[in-house]
Amino acid sequence: MTTLAPTVRRDSLVIGLIGAAHFMSHFFQLALAPVFPLLKDEFDVSWTALGGITAVFYAVSGVCQALVGVWCDRYGAARVLYMGLALLAVSIAAAAMVPYFWMLYPLAALAGMGNSVFHPADLSILSTRVSHGRLGRAYSVHGLSGTLGYATSPAVIGTMAYTIGWRPALLIAGVVGLVALLLISRFDAALGGGSNEGGKAHQDHAYGALIRQPGIVSGFVFFALAATAGIGFQSFGVPAMISIHEVPLAVATTGLTVYLLAQASGIFAGGWIVDWTSRHDIVALIGMGLAALTMAVAGGSALPFTGVLALVAFAGFTAGTVGPARDMLIRAAAPEGATGKVFGFVYSGLDIGSCLGPLAFGWLMDHDSPRLVFAAIALTMALTLPMVITVRRNAKKPAPATAD
């Protein structure tokens, strides 16, 4: 019987643990959204007030994420990861017991603080604890686990909420998060919880000087632009397709479903691709360039809706392949001992793009310009290309790829 080599077992364990943590973070990000209709009825509040809960969550997450990276490098990423998962789980469980609606806002802020730790902590742990030849696949699993968390949360919490009530549903979700925390923390040694590898070098990198480096700034801009394009399609792709092709809502939503499924497939494929090559910039340039071109054609052509679906699927797949390559480029741009700071800063661009993007695309839809929605998505994707080049130019020389 064939047994796995120790490094394979160790890498698989770390990848699995971080994937589970990232799954839980995305699961909790959508924990409240499925119960919004029930909250509206019970507390007699507006949709705007409910949307404010989400806005507070992501605003706090974005602000804190840039700072949490410093803690990862100073105190150890595993400890920060446990703290974040605990905050998320406790906040959601506490939300199940609020007697007044306003109490959900500070809890959303606490949950946003908890959510802010996952990208800097997860990617710092993967970057230091997984063999280089499997890093691409590690980043791929990380991205996929988050996508699965998004997909699972509405179905599970929504079903429980409408079956046993929203309060028991949120309480159960919080308890599950705490159980996950206990299980993950049992493997503290594998995650480097006691070694504080990053803390040995954190003092060598002044935060202000670090985030002013051209490669790091370009990485931040890349994430902000990519998030703007992604949230633009997720938020307004469906109404844009309804306006352009005059199809029913149920039909138009298949476009978003197809895009997200294709994107998940692209993330999986991208992990294998970047482990076979050291030119991660080429992978990112080709993937995002093709996605931009395809989105432009999808919005500007006179193709039937089925043709648009095919283009949207291709755009989702090619954009998905960029994820692992993007993370490899950022890792290469990060100085030794500063992966937490760098990943925390550049990933905060995701929250900024996610907050600002819907405003711009909503303005286009308000001005009856659905084709410009696709054009703006394509343009935003295209603007990421020079950012990739700048990150690559300022990155450390990559280690040779291995196909183990």
Per-residue pLDDT of the chain (404 residues; tens, 9 = 90+): 444 456 888 889 999 999 999 999 989 988 888 888 889 889 998 887 887 888 788 888 888 887 887 888 778 889 999 999 999 999 999 999 999 999 999 999 999 999 999 988 998 899 888 888 888 888 888 988 988 887 788 788 888 988 999 999 999 999 999 999 999 999 998 887 655 554 444 445 577 777 788 888 999 999 899 988 988 887 778 788 888 888 887 777 778 778 888 888 998 898 888 888 888 889 999 999 999 999 999 988 888 888 999 999 999 999 999 988 888 888 888 777 777 788 888 888 887 887 777 778 878 888 888 899 899 999 999 999 999 998 888 765 544 444 44
Query: Comparing C-alpha atoms, which of 53, 66, 36 is closest to residue 351?
Result: 66
CB 322 within 8 A of CB 287: yes
Q: Give the C-alpha separation, 55 to 49, whole Å.
A: 10
Task: Return the amino acid letter for 210.
Answer: L
Q: CA torsion 334→340→139→392, rounded to 10°?
A: -20
Rg over CA atoms, the chain: 21
Q: What are the structure tokens assigned to 3, written together? A: 């047994």
pLDDT at 194: 55
Look-up of token digits 């308890």? 175
Quick count: other Cβ atoms within 10 Å of Cβ 371? 16
d(CA 316, CA 264): 8
Neighbours of 363 (CB within 10 A): 12
- Domains of the chain and any CATH numbers: 6-203 (1.20.1250.20), 207-393 (1.20.1250.20)
